[in-house]
């Protein structure tokens, strides 16, 4: 997005915006994953994470306790849904790709994985307190 101030043009990108500064790798998380959390304010609110995933990183099949939304600010990622079957997890439909500018939604408890096909910057919004349970 560009802004104009007294005829001067200013470009804002993820590289120059303060929104994407101060990302850290939380203790216990893999190298290549960085995030920035939110400030507490509303007990019935959402948790918002500003995430950066390095190309090639993956998340195993997992669930979250609340509905979630992922906005791809930069990059490309792949998602696969699963169902619990008699012999473990079974793929539920084809893998799909989310690209820059696209948004994906998951219902609470929906089993899914993720693969980061390029370096990705994401805005992840989780309804209620965030949780991650590997399946």
pTM of the model: 0.82
First to last CA, the chain: 40
Residue 108 has pLDDT above 50, yes or no: yes
Higher pLDDT, 19 or 133: 133
Q: Which two tokens stand for residue 77?
A: 């990622």
Cα(25)–Cα(33) distance, integer angstroms: 6
Q: What percent of the chain has pLDDT over 70?
A: 90
Cα(129)–Cα(49) distance, integer angstroms: 12
Cα(95)–Cα(80) distance, integer angstroms: 4
pLDDT of residue 88: 96
- The answer to whether domain 25-134 has CATH 1.10.287.90 is no
Domain edges within the chain: 25-134
Higher pLDDT, 100 or 45: 100
Strands (E), the chain: 2-5, 8-11, 33-36, 46-53, 58-63, 68-74, 76-85, 88-91, 96-99, 103-106, 111-116, 120-127, 133-134
64-104 confidence digits (pLDDT tens): 999 999 999 999 999 999 999 999 999 999 999 999 999 99
- Report the C-alpha dihedral over residues 35, 39, 42, 48, rounded to 10 degrees: -20
């Amino acid at each position: 997005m560009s802004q104009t101030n007294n005829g001067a043009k200013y470009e804002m990108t993820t590289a120059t915006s303060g929104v994407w500064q101060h990302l850290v790798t939380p203790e216990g998380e893999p190298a290549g994953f960085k995030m920035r959390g939110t400030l507490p304010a509303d007990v019935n609110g959402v948790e918002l994470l500003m995430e950066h995933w390095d190309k090639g990183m993956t998340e195993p099949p997992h669930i979250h306790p609340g509905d979630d939304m992922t906005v791809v600010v930069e990059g490309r990622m792949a998602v696969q849904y699963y169902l619990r079957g008699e012999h473990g997890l079974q793929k539920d439909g084809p893998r799909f790709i989310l690209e820059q500018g696209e948004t994906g939604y998951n219902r609470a408890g929906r089993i899914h994985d993720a693969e980061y096909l390029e370096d990705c910057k994401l805005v992840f919004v989780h309804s209620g307190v965030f949780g991650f349970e590997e399946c």
